Amino acid sequence: MSIFLVSLLPVTTIAQTKDSTEKLKADTLRKLNEVKITTSRNYIQATSPVPVQVLKGAQLEQINSLTVADAVRYFSGVQLKDYGGVGGLKTINVRSLGTNHTAVFYDGVEFSNAQNGQVDLGKFSLDNIEEIALYDAQQNSIFQPAKGFASASVLYLVTKSPKFRDSSDFTGKATLKTGSFGLINPSVNAAYKIGNNGYATISTELMHANGRYKFSTNDGGDTTAVRSNGDINSQRIEAAAAIASKDSAVWKIRGYLFHSDRGLPAAVVNHNFDSDQREWDRDMFLQSSYQTNPTNRDSWQINAKYSNDYTSYLDPDITTTRGLLNDKYTEKELYFSVANRYRVTKQLSFDLSADYQRNSLNSTQNDTIPYRFVSPVRNQLLIAAAGELRLKRWDIQANLLATFVNDSVDTLVSAGRKTKYTPAFLFSWQPFENPELHVRGFYKDIFRLPTFNDLYFTFIGNSFLKPEFTKQSDLGLTYNKSWKQQTLTDLFLQVDGYCNIIHNKIIAAPGQNLARWMMYNINEVHITGLDIDASAIWQLPAKIQLSTGITYTYQKGIDVTSDGYNTGQEIPYTPKSSGSLLIGAQKDRFVLNYSFIYTGSRYDEAANTPVRNYLQPWYTHDMSVTYSGNFKHHQIKLCGEVNNMLNQQYEVIRNFPMPGRNYRITISTNI
């Protein structure tokens, strides 16, 4: 194995820390690309002190997914808030803590949004994604930026790294996806080798969809209509380079540019099914990381990022004295992180990480400074100190994160300075000599800061808001076993019970006027749950390989606010039961996949009023067939998908109907 992987693939880092890293020696990058995790299939998940769920490679291709948002639905404990269609907002909610508590990392650096704290996972096409990994609490390696310790759960997106064939200096792939909703989605990925120790990649993609789909509602009378204003046109281009030096240092750089123009479908309400609101986004970032191991004991990583995101929002239903309402926002981020790990002995190591982040937000409304807008600037310093003790059957990690925040605004009241110290404690224990069974658990205190919108948005923000605190505890076990020469070759099971407590939950409530939402810190919430995740690989007769996976989540998110209006009731959008099922069968050049997703009944409001606030369970059956073959020196892949086969009419978010049966065809070839 190569040490270079440490920086190139965050998840692989874990495999290495688990492995005896001493064995790892510097090697060439060519070799790096051949490396796979050679230990047992589910080794990382099985030995991690925190629950880890990973979708990668073939598995990721197996599920009928266009974007990261579609894929995360297969994780246990996850609710995807999906407003429907290709362009509709899609955000992740892990263990009912709320979207703002999950940090999204793109190639090891956080992809954040200080304005509203939500990352739209629908923006990330799977075209350039190699792996998606979800960690409850934090990644299971102490050697990471302080930001990695700073949220209640972390979603890591890892971009594809090129695999050069033989002595070739170039590899590339062209893909075209098309299907329902007027989707046309061509993409090209290419990589060049730079010497023996480096490569450069470029990945680009266009997406066009009219976003139209038929839906029917039987809320009151029956009717069928076409979802409108869900069109999207987006372009993405990404360029990256990675260079490894002989002394095992790796330097990487990545530039990203994304642009989209989309309609914003509104809630489907009586006598008003359509919307003409539009949004334009331009996201841009440049990030770089450098990792080196000067000695066997000492490892350093440096990460830096600059991002500049622009959003323009048009609401033609509101005419101001300066024309149709047009809000524009520019958010900038500057980020710099240094982390150092020092191995005192083979068993004991320490990490010290320091991150600095500066976010600013500027806004205009119809090209003038909006009324009472304050242009907030947030400076954050995060310092994490972590230790890990790794014994034969124990892996114990502990860390303390210190967060120093200072908000400044040019007028009015800012949220000011805050200092918080938050600990986490993680363990994994192998109770028997046989490594098949592990017991694990963690406790973590963390918080999320109120976003710029929560604090400062004119007529909405409340600069008196306090951070929202979460206390998470988890106890679970994993079972991992492989067999040779049997029908069942791999079995992996993880079961975790958890209890989350949220203090000072930030709630948005409309103010005196319905257009005026206000933010309050009111609720106390207790969430208890159980996540089950099982997967297996089977070798059937006639050379059929079958992979199966099932996830199930049972949870209760209860409002326990003392003197609250809805004390003892379920929090909104928290189904008691949810789960998924995946079955994939491969024979020769064909792969057949079936997947099923289930979300139980839930309420859309804090008051659990039957009928009025009740939302039906929903479940979809998806199916796909993939053929891979060679045609005149080209490796061709063809895939046909049918999603929501039974054409179920459902809503994830009240009044935002989801698509019924839909189709997609993918064709790709190497170039």
Partner 1 sequence: MKKRYLLWILLPLFLAACRKDQKPVPETVTQVGAPDTGLLKGMYVLNEGNMGSNKASLDFLDLQTGKYHQDIYEQANPTVVKGLGDVGNDLGVYGGKLYIVVNNSNKVEVVNANTVKRIGQVNIQNCRNIIFNNGKAYVSAFLGVVGDPKAPNGAVYEIDTATLQITRKVTVGRQPEELAIVNNKIYVANSGGYSPPNYERTLSVVDLNTFTEIKRIDVGINLEKVKPDAYGNLYVTSRGDYYTVPPDLFVIDTKTDAVKKDFKMPVSNFYIKGDTAYMYAVAFSYTTGQNTISYSMIDVKTETVINKQYITDGTNQQIKVPYGIAVNPLTGEVYVTDAKNYVTPGTLYSFGTDGKKKFSVTTGDIPGHFTFLYNSNHH
Q: Please report, as residue ranges, which positions from 616 to 635 form the binding site for partner 1 (by CB under 8 A).
A: 616-619, 621
Among 56, 418, 654, 661, binds partner 1 (CB under 8 A): 654
Among 196, 347, 601, 630, binds partner 1 (CB under 8 A): 601
Tell the smallest beta-carbon distance from residue 324 to partner 1 (Å): 5
Q: Which stretch binds partner 1 (CB under 8 A): 33-41, 109-117, 214-222, 383-391?
A: 214-222
Residues between 217 and 236 that touch partner 1 (CB under 8 A): 217-223
Q: Is 510 in the site for partner 1 (CB under 8 A)?
A: yes
Query: Phi and psi dihedrals of 510, rounded to 5?
Result: -65, 145
Tell the smallest beta-carbon distance from residue 612 to partner 1 (Å): 5
Q: Which stretch binds partner 1 (CB under 8 A): 174-182, 196-204, 526-534, 607-615?
A: 607-615
Toward partner 1, which CB reaches closer, 98 or 600?
Answer: 600
Q: Which stretch binds partner 1 (CB under 8 A): 88-96, 173-181, 525-533, 614-622?
A: 614-622
Toward partner 1, which CB reaches closer, 255 or 617?
Answer: 617
Burial 557-575 (b: 16+ CB within 10 A, else e): bbbebeeeebeebbbbbbb
Tell the smallest beta-carbon distance from residue 63 to partner 1 (Å): 16
Q: Is 294 in the site for partner 1 (CB under 8 A)?
A: no
Toward partner 1, which CB reaches closer, 221 or 633?
Answer: 221
Tell the smallest beta-carbon distance from residue 606 to partner 1 (Å): 6
Toward partner 1, which CB reaches closer, 104 or 502?
Answer: 502
Per-residue x/- marks for partner 1, 404-423, CB under 8 A? Answer: --------xx----------
Toward partner 1, which CB reaches closer, 98 or 476?
Answer: 98
Q: CA-CA distance, 374 to 362, in Å (whole number)?
A: 8
Asked if residue 544 lies in contact with residue 592, where contact means CB atoms within 8 angstroms, the answer is no
Residues with Cβ within 8 Å of residue 209, at least 6 apart in sequence: 85, 86, 87, 181, 182, 183, 184, 185, 230, 231, 232
Q: Which stretch binds partner 1 (CB under 8 A): 147-155, 191-199, 260-268, 382-390?
A: 260-268
Query: Phi and psi dihedrals of 294, rounded to 5?
Result: -60, -35
Asked if residue 303 lies in contact with residue 105, where contact means CB atoms within 8 angstroms, the answer is no
Among 57, 294, 323, 431, binds partner 1 (CB under 8 A): 323
Q: What is the dihedral of CA 47, 50, 55, 59, to 10 degrees?
A: 40
Q: Which stretch binds partner 1 (CB under 8 A): 141-149, 164-172, 270-278, 633-641?
A: 270-278
Q: What is the DSSP string of 274-329?
A: ----EEEEEEEEEEEEEEE-SSSSEEEEEEEEEEEEEEEEEEEEEEETTEEEEEEE
The number of helix segments (H) and strand segments (E) in the chain equals 7, 35
Q: Kindly determine how many residues on this chain lie close enough to bind partner 1 according to the rule CB under 8 A.
A: 72
Q: CA-CA distance, 606 to 572, in Å (whole number)?
A: 5
Q: Which stretch binds partner 1 (CB under 8 A): 104-112, 243-251, 400-408, 506-514?
A: 506-514
Tell the smallest beta-carbon distance from residue 648 to partner 1 (Å): 8
Residues between 45 and 74 that touch partner 1 (CB under 8 A): none
Residues between 428 and 487 that touch partner 1 (CB under 8 A): 458-459, 461-464, 487
Toward partner 1, which CB reaches closer, 308 or 608?
Answer: 608
Q: Is 364 in the site for partner 1 (CB under 8 A)?
A: no
The token duo for 366 is: 């119809």
Q: Is 168 in the site for partner 1 (CB under 8 A)?
A: no
Beta partners for residue 60, in sequence order: none
Tell the smallest beta-carbon distance from residue 1 to partner 1 (Å): 36
Tell the smallest beta-carbon distance from residue 604 to partner 1 (Å): 8
Q: What is the DSSP string of 165-190?
A: -TT-SEEEEEEEEEEGGGEEEEEEEE
Among 322, 417, 589, 634, binds partner 1 (CB under 8 A): 322
Name the DSSP letter for residue 664: E
3-state secondary structure of 560: coil
Alpha-carbon distances, residue 654 vs 511, 556, 586, 599, 615 (angstroms) = 21, 20, 38, 14, 7
| Listed residue (107, 118, 108) closest to 145, CA to CA | 108
Tell the smallest beta-carbon distance from residue 643 to partner 1 (Å): 15
Beta partners for residue 401, in sequence order: 384, 422
Alpha-carbon distances, residue 564 vs 96, 162, 567, 568, 607 (angstroms) = 19, 54, 5, 9, 11
Beta partners for residue 269, in sequence order: 272
| Listed residue (475, 526, 523, 476) closest to 501, CA to CA | 526
Toward partner 1, which CB reaches closer, 365 or 482?
Answer: 365
Tell the smallest beta-carbon distance from residue 304 to partner 1 (Å): 37
3-state secondary structure of 249: coil
Q: Is 325 in the site for partner 1 (CB under 8 A)?
A: yes
Q: Which stretch binds partner 1 (CB under 8 A): 393-401, 402-410, 594-602, 623-631?
A: 594-602
3-state secondary structure of 144: coil
Among 520, 539, 560, 642, binds partner 1 (CB under 8 A): 520
Q: Is 562 in the site for partner 1 (CB under 8 A)?
A: no
The token duo for 95 is: 């263990």
- H or E segment and range at residue 208: strand 198-209
Among 20, 272, 345, 486, binds partner 1 (CB under 8 A): 272
Among 261, 276, 436, 490, binds partner 1 (CB under 8 A): 276
